Structures are given as structure tokens and as C-alpha cells.
Structure 1
Amino acid sequence: MCGTRAILTSFDVTTGKFQGQLGQLPLNQHTTLEDVRKRFPTSGQQANVDAPGQPGVTVSLHYIYQGQPTEGALRLHFEHGRLVDVDFWFSC
């Protein structure tokens, strides 16, 4: 929190209280890994299986600045093929 402003770094979509929009793609509890792979085929193919003991798959959609990818990414975490949370990631 910075004064009266907060910085959102992630949100959970499983309860239905929070959702987002990425172009025409809704980011909610109904969003599937296949939905993301259809709209973002390169990132979808490069999805990372999570570490042992942590079920799921993470898709990283890198931010583009002046036509170049940055070190930051929107990370979409899926379990059983459904979106569970969205993380706004930047390297330190």
C-alpha cells in the first residue's frame, strides 16, 4: 500500500468475486487453458508445468514495451485446466 493507493499484484478467480479481461478473453473461474492456448498459441505452447507437489500449469504472457518483450509477464495459473489465479509479475 502506498498512501491511499494499493498495488494489485495478483488475484484469485475461484470464488467468482474477482475477474479480469485480456482483450476479448475473460479471466475468471470459467477460463480454460484451451481458451488461452487458442488466443495466445505461442505462450500456450510454452506453458510450464508447476513444481512437484503443486498441481497445475502456468502460462506467462510477457509484456511488450516499444515492440520488445520485457522481463515482466502476466502469469495465469491453471489447475485441472481451469484458471485459478492471475499474477502480475516483474523481475526485481
Structure 2
Amino acid sequence: MSKFNKRETFNKYLKEADYKINIEGLLCMSSLYLIRNSLIKMRDGEKLLVISNNTISREDIPKLCYVTKNRLIKKKIDKLPFLFLIQKTNIIK
């Protein structure tokens, strides 16, 4: 994929998101904590774009969505940076 296509993909995700969080360079637990706290502050139906370069996030973020009952709308995990679009669908306790 060329740089243009990478930017185009990123922009498509960004246009759909109400909020974005860049967790590139953070360790697993720190990044999950930041995502969870961001989701807590959001209203139902709002969307969060998560940008990551940690390979474990390909597994951890979908699991976080499942456990917190939020919806993983889209993910791009074939090349860096990884992109995840999460829709808040429930109150996290």
C-alpha cells in the first residue's frame, strides 16, 4: 500500500470518529487503561479511533470491547499503525 493509500485509510477512519487516542509506544496495560477511561467519558453511540503500533493490541483491543460490551466497528491490523474504531454501546462499570 502506498503512502497515499495509508493516509486515505486513516482519513476514512478519522472522519467516522468523534474522538481519537494515539497509544503508539505505550505498554499494553497503560494503553488499555487509557482506552477504557476514554470510553467511560463518552456517550452511547459515540465513536473512538484508537491508533496503535503494539502488536498485542490486535488481540487486546477486541477483547476489551467484548468485556466492556462496546462495539468494535472496524479494525485495520495488516500494517502499522493499527487502527481500531470503537463505538460505545454500554456503560462501563
TM-score by length of 2: 0.29
Q: Which has the larger radius of gyration?
A: 1
- Structure (1 or 2) with the greater helix fraction: 2
In terms of fraction of residues, the more strand-rich structure is 1
